Amino acid sequence: MSWTAEAGAVFAKELRTEWRTRVALSAVGLFALASLTLIALSFRGAPLTSFRSDADRALQLLTREAVAGSLLWVLIFFTAATGLGRTFVQEAERGTALALRLSARATTVWTGKYAANTLLLLVLTLIAAPILLAILEVRPANAGLLVCVLLIGAVGLAAVMTFTAALVAQASAKSGLLAALSFPLLVPLFLAGVNGTKAALGFGNEAGRWTPALADLQVLGSYAVIAVTASLLLFDFVWND
């Protein structure tokens, strides 16, 4: 079987397994719903109309743009840590890890699982982002830039989460370990993602230009390439250890 066929088979297996059990979908959906509900309740008592002057209103809008950019990435990170952590844990729990090692190469296993995680994270992001922005009453100054930042960021985030999930699956204490291992590696991605999201929402970029976010997009793109490449090169040692 070719490399592409093996990776596609692992990807299809992940989707079938998730469709039957819906473990990751349930965890991701419930966490995102609870987080969005808490955010909505927290901001319900702070309407924009509470300010008298246009200057105060504009100041609150800028504040909400900054808060929205930060909250969105916090939501994405912890939701991903909640749902993507079971990528390899389910193999260890069911005792199918050995069969998967014998039937597929390490790089195809990582690629198939990574593709499934990326798809799940992209769906989550594209659903949660508009809801969060609607709750905070923030309208993007550049919707195309916002989508680009979120898509590239999700690609890099899923790569790191997939690799660290393999490390977590080998540990005895799995609870909370994925977030603890992933966060230090993801700091550059978060900084670029938050700054790029703020620019897309109009924070310091009222005209919605792409220029203020170009450096952040370059960081996100470079990070995604490095994360995917490093994971592919190192995963063989983790998977076959």
* Predicted local confidence at residue 186, as pLDDT: 93
61 pLDDT above the threshold of 60: no
The gap from C-alpha 123 to its chain's centroid, in whole angstroms, comes to 10
Give 124-180 pLDDT, tens digit per residue: 888 889 998 888 888 888 999 999 999 999 999 999 999 998 888 766 555 567 888
- For residue 139, how many other CB atoms are within 10 A of its CB? 12
Rounded Cα distance, 118 and 122, in Å = 6
* Predicted local confidence at residue 152, as pLDDT: 96
Higher pLDDT: 20 or 140? It is: 140
Rounded Cα distance, 165 and 180, in Å = 11
105 pLDDT above the threshold of 60: yes
Rounded Cα distance, 102 and 115, in Å = 21
